[in-house]
Amino acid sequence: MTPSISLENVLAILPDLALLVLLIAVIVYNGLIADDDDRRNVGLVTAWGAAIILFGMLLLAFIYPDYSMQPTLHWGGMVVAGPVTLSFRAMFLIALMLTALLSLDVPELQRGSYFALLITATIGFDMMAASADLIMLLVALETASISLYLLVGFNTRSRRSTEAGIKYFVYGAFASAIMMYGMSLLYGVTGSTNIAVIGTMVGNAFAGVVPVEIISLLLVSAVMLVAGFAFKVSAVPFHFWTPDAYEGAPTVVTGFLSTASKAAGFAVFFRVFSAGVFGYPEPGRASWAWWAMLVAMCILTMVLGNFLAIWQQDIKRMLAYSSIAQAGYIMMGLVALLKSQGDDVPSAAGGGAAIFYLLMYVFTNIAAFGIIVLVSRKSNSTQMKDFYGLSRRSPWLALAMLVALLSLGGIPPTAGFFGKFFIFQAAVEADLWWLAAIGILNAFVALFYYLTVVKYIYLYRSDDDDVRITVSRAAGVGLAITIVAVLYLGIFANSAYTWAIEAAQNFVQF
């Protein structure tokens, strides 16, 4: 049956249509520019376009509250609109806008194809967050993934960038193949690709309504889907691509990859598992097995990421392992949400904490990588020693990096403090106090390598103490937005967290 094109259907994908229009505008505008000196304006068009789409989407949500507050299916059950989708789309548009601003002064990225790929990846992320069907999810994921493969290896003059792009592509294709096979098993068992329908059928299976023989296939499928999703979020043991890809990719791309891509990965992670596609974790049932697997991955991801970050001398590799550890914290929100769904009164605290954490992480990590871009332009490297005496060369950049590192470490009054607090609180409320304790211990370990960079910035001296680091207006605006947002979310966290909890209710209801 062909779905009717109603106003509600159009509104459900309006941000994606707007991004498509922006993509066409960027391509046409780039083709009309004759002078290479004007290529910078393509990035400005991208940044302004993302900002306008973000403002328009939020305005539309205010005008049509039903569109923003109620989860509804559209386009034949392929797309779901609601507060969860709105929250993640806002993160993606913020990441696109900030990445475009920070890319304006990177010569090797001054090409229209680069900004077109950023927009295409964002369209893929948007559709991932809005997917209510496995086919839509797969198409959206591959749209985003192919764009990211090209972005990671975009700097063809750099051997490391080319190598990183190839590695990311090979590992990503392998993970996608495993995930696709898991989806095919789900379809073979249930005869449906709709996530909600599959959740209902699987719930009946675990309740003994249908033959129990399919449970083994469901568990195999769960492992395969976890492999694909875990690759997107850099969770152990599917993290091995992260350090090389983060180090080799253009630094601005690394910031985009570590935030928007991770948020999109967790969007589908939460969407699929919270819908009961593999049942809800209850002791004594087979569904407990895959939940225990997620808990083990959560712990290993935190521990491995934090301890390996300690030994890194390249700051991009250090933040790569930090990103792995951050994925472990967010997974804590996932396992807390899933465990609560097996209770008589489900709680959305885990989902709300994860959404708040991802929003905080978008601003924090893009700020950190944006500063690395500016520093590395002077030193032509990303070694830790390049940050020696940064407080003397650029006090404002040093202060911004301090705020970003403190937020990553979870120190008040930054957003990172409440991000970790809400995650640990959700774990305790789900009766996972021991998991929260492991997370707190890991947070203390992380402070060691974050504060080590702070020590380099403020206490060490460099031969280049007199070399000033210039910051363009676009980069200054981008960094100012990130730092103000990090401090605002750290001081006035309650309003954002309340919205995140309300949005996460749909993980329980849908």
Burial class (CB in 10 A: 0-12, 13-18, 19+), 40: middle
Closest to 371 (Cα-Cα) out of 361, 360, 386: 386
Is residue 425, in this structure, part of any structural domain at all? yes
Is residue 1, in this structure, part of any structural domain at all? no
Q: Please tell me the distance from the alpha carbon of residue 177 to that of residue 173, in angstroms, as a whole number.
A: 6
Is residue 3, in this structure, part of any structural domain at all? no
Per-residue pLDDT band for 204 (boundaries 50, 70, 90) equals: low
Is residue 4, in this structure, part of any structural domain at all? no
| Residues facing residue 79 across a β-bridge | 74, 131
- In the chain, the N- to C-terminal Cα span, in Å, equals 23
In 241-265, which positions are buried (b, 16+ CB within 10 angstroms) versus exposed (e)?
Answer: bbbbbbbbbbbbbbbbbbbbbbbbb
Is residue 136, in this structure, part of any structural domain at all? yes
Predicted local distance difference test score (pLDDT) of residue 1: 46
Give, in order, the Cα–Cα distances in Å from 499 to each of 94, 201, 415, 493, 495. Answer: 17, 31, 15, 10, 6
What are 230-263's pLDDT values in tens digits? 998 999 888 888 888 998 889 999 999 999 999 9
Please say if the pLDDT value at position 287 is more than 60.
Answer: yes
Please say if the pLDDT value at position 333 is more than 70.
Answer: yes
Please say if the pLDDT value at position 317 is more than 80.
Answer: yes
Q: Tell me the three-class secondary structure of 323-381, residue by residue.
A: HHHHHHHHHHHHHHHHHHHCCCCCCCHHHHHHHHHHHHHHHHHHHHHHHHHHHHHHHCC
Burial class (CB in 10 A: 0-12, 13-18, 19+), 396: middle
Q: Which residues contact 305 (CB under 8 A, 6 or more apart)?
A: 236, 239, 321, 322, 323, 324, 325, 326, 327, 328
Strand residues in 42-190 grouped as ranges (E): 72-74, 79-81
CB 333 within 8 A of CB 426: yes
pTM score of the predicted model: 0.93
Q: Please tell me the distance from the alpha carbon of residue 301 to that of residue 311, in angstroms, as a whole number.
A: 16
Predicted local distance difference test score (pLDDT) of residue 332: 93
Q: Calculate the CA 340 to chain-centre distance.
A: 23
Please say if the pLDDT value at position 58 is more than 80.
Answer: yes
| Residues facing residue 73 across a β-bridge | 80
What are 121-174's pLDDT values in tens digits? 999 999 999 888 899 999 999 999 999 999 998 888 878 888 888 989 999 999
Q: 367 is in which domain, residue-wise?
A: 10-509
User: If phi over 0 gives left and psi between -120 and 50 gives alpha, with beta otherwise, what is residue 73?
Assistant: beta
Please say if the pLDDT value at position 5 is more than 90.
Answer: no
Domain tally, the chain: 1
CB 125 within 8 A of CB 261: yes
Q: Which residues contact 458 (CB under 8 A, 6 or more apart)?
A: 391, 398, 402
Q: Please tell me the distance from the alpha carbon of residue 93 to that of residue 57, in angstroms, as a whole number.
A: 10
Q: Please tell me the distance from the alpha carbon of residue 501 to that of residue 494, in angstroms, as a whole number.
A: 10
Is residue 248, in this structure, part of any structural domain at all? yes
Closest to 502 (Cα-Cα) out of 345, 326, 360, 356: 356
Is residue 468, in this structure, part of any structural domain at all? yes
Is residue 5, in this structure, part of any structural domain at all? no
Is the model more confident about 110 or about 117?
A: 117
